[in-house]
Amino acid sequence: MAICVGIGSIPLALAQTPAERRNAPITATALLPGEKIVVDGKLDDAVWQRIAPMTEFYEYRPQDAKSSKFATEARIAYDKHALYIGVTAHDPDPGKIDAPLVRRDQVNGSQDFFAIHIDPVGTRKFAQIFRFNAAGAIGDGLFNEDTTNEDYSPDFEFEVRTARTATGWTAELRIPFSTLRYSDPPSATWSIQIVRGISRGEQYRIANGRIPRDSNCFLCYAQTLEGMKDLPAGREFTVTPQVTLRRTTDKSSNELRKTSNDFVAGVDIKFRPRPDLVFDATINPDFSQVELDTPQLASNAQFALYFPEKRPFFLEGADILSTPFGGAIYTRSINDPTWGARLTQRNDSNDFTFLTVRDDGKGSILLPGPLNTDFANQESKSQATIGRFRSHLGALSIGGLLTDRTYESTPGKPSAYNRVAGIDFVWRPNGETRVRGQILGSFTKDPRNLREPGVPDNGFAALVDYNYRDPIWGIVGGFEQVGRGFRADNGFFSQAGYTNVYQEVQRKWNNVGPFHEVSPYVNVARKVDDEGNLLYQQIVPGIFLATAMNTNIVVEWRPNTSVRFRNEGGTLKRDQFFASIESTPGTWLSRFYLEAGIGDRPDVAANAIRRGYFIGANATLRISDRFEIEPRIDESVMGSGALSRGNEIALHERAVQITSVYHFTARDNLRLIGQYSSVKRGSAFYTSPVSTNEKTETLSLVYGHLHSLGTNIYVGANTTRSIDTSITFKQRQNEVFVKISWAFDIAALIS
């Protein structure tokens, strides 16, 4: 029996363990011979009538573990081909149901939605996410319990239909067993977490588990799912040919226009010989349909910038690649793959993935140092190989990785390689505490002499951190050290040769006036290089406020922060005020985020601190249930007159992106992306010559018809213009393309 211990009227989270907060196990119902479910969203098939619904749902935001005032029902059934989930969302005011058409993975908190987290292995270490709103728009991805991270990049084959009723809405979900990654033989117990989101001025979240508002785990509260018997033994075999027709033109200053016509044919292969084993292969992949990367402020960056992976081939089992060092594996380092192969396995005790890809190069190699990131061109082709495993031992997970990047030799030089190996662990003794650690070693042979003289060929990296959260306290801290010779060509380490120690302590008060949470905190960090020289130091007090409409406010005072950009000289001091607000206020403005800092700004190129400000803002605007616009802007200004009416500006940088999508149907949309970035510098502020005015403009228009996960048609056009007035340089690139892919289930055709 749990013992309720508390301070004042607030019970501590350790009063109940995650197992004690779970609902009783539920049993899936097998369809009888001759029974059938027609997926139309109406739940009028006979099988639904004989299944007792799940009705125990609890609010976990904004309040913790309250019985939900929005009645919800869920039923689970299966046949020899698929898992079926039927949900009924009762609503006291159905006219306020928010149900827009949005593009895949844009089902967000301002809408009425369900998110089904299914752990088909039963370890509560990962889940496949199937998300949909009341209009039938979908999202999908993977949840990693070790990092509590939701990754909506992976896509799965599944079917959803919804229907509106007089008392709310209903939905039917069909998930083919070929989509679910269960073990072999199948586990007798799965787990499932069903989350419903309702937006009524307040953002309500309810689930079939009594999830604490402040928790260090999510799947640990998931309900056990039993009764999954006689499941298919895999043997799916899908071949997806792809054809891309592309015409490009390129015109630079004082050069003739260059035009090229390309016909690109490729193929993706997915073979599942048994339920827990998936083999993927790709030949000559083309990623024309992938969304443009969001522009970032790069001209004043001290270290390399990170971009998320969006390419489909790299996303099978993407959660397995996660490690405590977030950059240990970074598939975006594989710039131009010509072919690749991957083997992924999951079962109730281990996860494993092995990936090897031929990279044609043309990208950059990161050469991290304590003060900046240097770059080298990938002048030769290379073979990138990554192996990663995790073993689950109850509350403890142990993992390891091995990566290799071997470069083709260039004339007159031997071949080069970079290899990284290491082990890691994640320990969760209870629902409030997480402890992680990782040790990596890198081994490099590179006769190209890319690094500075004296930098060793080999190096190591080590990390240990802890994270404790309960309704009253949040305590996060850690230690990490990366040796000067450490390098990860299949990863993302922008800095090396440092030791970093950090700690944050947060005290929480719930339900204070208009706020759901009031949490002051202090964050302390100190980073030094291998010789003990200070690189960075801060003591930052701040406060976090949570209130209605899922609104989160952060305010920080950052006084006397020490930073260093160069070896010569000492550290520089910086004072800054920072604030941010994030909210989902309503239908037309469904989400916005705004952050701003004012005070001292670092000018990395000049090794100086200047007065200035930065602003970052993004939002989702819904013009109608079919038309959405997502504007984003980041701006940084610094100089002696940056905070006054003077014109003495050292640096003015701006990055703008506007994404607009019109949905003709749930499967057809037209996407327009406009991007603009500019950098202006005052030459009088710099001792070395600088470019005084640069800008880049990009426009992308793509129509997409998504028949199914592998069968799609894309027609698009892109144009980019780059200008540098200081050297009278102009360049314009235009591209039009058509891409068609269609998936064949070879196993089904043979049978």
Q: What is the pLDDT of residue 15?
A: 57
How far is 272 from 236, CA to CA, in rounded Å? Answer: 5
Q: Where are the alpha helices (DSSP H) in 129-187?
A: none
Q: What is the pLDDT of residue 61?
A: 85
What's the CATH architecture for 6-226?
A: Sandwich (2.60)
Report which listed range, 296-305, 350-359, 659-668, is most confident: 350-359
Please determine, for residue 702, whether its predicted confidence score (pLDDT) is greater than 90. yes
The whole-number average pLDDT for the span 453-477 is 94
Q: What is the pLDDT of residue 546?
A: 93
Using 50, 70 and 90 to split pLDDT, how confident is the model at 13?
Answer: very low
The whole-number average pLDDT for the span 506-517 is 93
Using alpha carbons, list the distances in angstroms from residue 51 to 46, 73, 163, 437: 9, 11, 20, 45
Please determine, for residue 644, whether its predicted confidence score (pLDDT) is greater than 90. no
Using 50, 70 and 90 to split pLDDT, how confident is the model at 136?
Answer: very high
The whole-number average pLDDT for the span 226-248 is 90
The whole-number average pLDDT for the span 217-239 is 90
Q: What is the pLDDT of residue 751?
A: 55
H/E stretch holding 608 reads strand 608-622
Give ∠ CA 448-450-454 in degrees, rounded to 5: 110
Share of the chain above pLDDT 70, in %: 95
Residue with tokens 């800095």: 495
Q: What is the pLDDT of residue 647?
A: 61
**For the segment 514-566, what is each residue's pLDDT rounded down to a tens digit?**
999 999 999 999 999 999 999 999 999 999 999 988 899 999 999 999 999 99
Q: pLDDT higher for 153 or 226?
A: 226
Please determine, for residue 414, whether its predicted confidence score (pLDDT) is greater than 90. no
Q: What is the pLDDT of residue 215?
A: 80
Tokens linked to 283: 């030949």
The whole-number average pLDDT for the span 164-171 is 96
Indicate whether this model's pTM tops 0.75: yes
Using 50, 70 and 90 to split pLDDT, how confident is the model at 579?
Answer: very high
Please determine, for residue 666, whether its predicted confidence score (pLDDT) is greater than 50. yes
Q: Phi first, then psi: give them for residue 497, nearest 5 degrees.
A: 80, 45
Q: What integer best gives the mean pLDDT of the chain?
A: 90
Q: Spell out the SS3 assignment of 318-349.
A: HHHHCCCCCCCCCHHHCCCEEEEEEEEEECCC
Q: What is the pLDDT of residue 646?
A: 53
Using 50, 70 and 90 to split pLDDT, how confident is the model at 8?
Answer: very low
Closest by CA to 39, choosing from 94, 86, 101, 95, is 86
Please determine, for residue 206, whether its predicted confidence score (pLDDT) is greater than 60. yes
Q: CA torsion angle for 198, 202, 205, 206 (degrees, to 10)?
A: -80
Q: What is the pLDDT of residue 6?
A: 36
Please determine, for residue 4, whether its predicted confidence score (pLDDT) is greater than 50. no
Domain locations in the chain as residue ranges: 6-226
